[in-house]
Structure 1
């Protein structure tokens, strides 16, 4: 179980960091032209989402890897699950049901990591 939790946290942590860095570095107009959902948000809010994703992704990996406050891993997973719940509500509001599936996968993965690290296989 420990290996599965490390794999899920690592893969999704890297995905969050990558997505967050994209939101932080790509110009707003270019990002909006590619994905369209940022049209509902200001550039500052999209950058804030990028910061949340970057920090959440790092929180999934670094505390456990460095053995510095590893309890932060399930906390980060719980926070990212709440973040994904917000993303899901936005997808439903915009009638983007194809993209909703990916968000549900991310939500399920974060719930799995939070449950696994809090209850089943804590550090």
Structure 2
């Protein structure tokens, strides 16, 4: 189960890193070409979301990998779960219904990590 949790942590961290990196690297106008929801947010808010996603990616891996304060790994997973709740609400408001399924899937992965790392497979 520990190996499974590591695989899920790495996959979720990669998804969060790519998502956050794209929000940090691209302009609001460029993002709006593929994501309608960005029109409801200021550029600063979009950058803030991107930064939270990048920090979540780092939090899912670095504390556990270095052994320094590994309790931050499940805390980061809870942060991802909260981000996905917000993402699902945002996608619902923008009528981007297929994206809600992705949000729910990432939410589920984050909850599994939090459960495993706070519970029976803690570091």
TM-score, with structure 1 as normaliser: 0.96
Counterpart in the other structure of 2:36: 36
The Cα RMSD (Å) is 0.8
Asked if structure 1 preserves the Cα contact closer than 8 Å seen for 2:36 and 2:94, the reply is no
Q: Are positions 1:10 and 2:17 aligned together?
A: no
In 2, Cα distance between the equivalents of 1:17 and 1:2? 22
Structure 1 segments, 4+ long, off by >6 Å, are none
Cα shift readout 1:67-123 (whole Å, capped 9, x = no counterpart):
111110000001110111111111222222111100000000000000010012000
Secondary structure of 1:120 counterpart: coil
Distance 2:95 2:25 in 1: 27
Partner SS for 1:115 = helix
CA–CA distance in structure 2, aligned partners of residues 94 and 31 of structure 1: 14
The 5 Å alignment of 1:49-64 reads: 49-64=49-64
TM-score, structure 2 length as denominator? Answer: 0.96
* SS at 2:119 equivalent: helix
Aligned length: 123
Q: Which runs of 5+ in 2 are unaligned?
A: none
Q: Which runs of 5+ in 1 are unaligned?
A: none
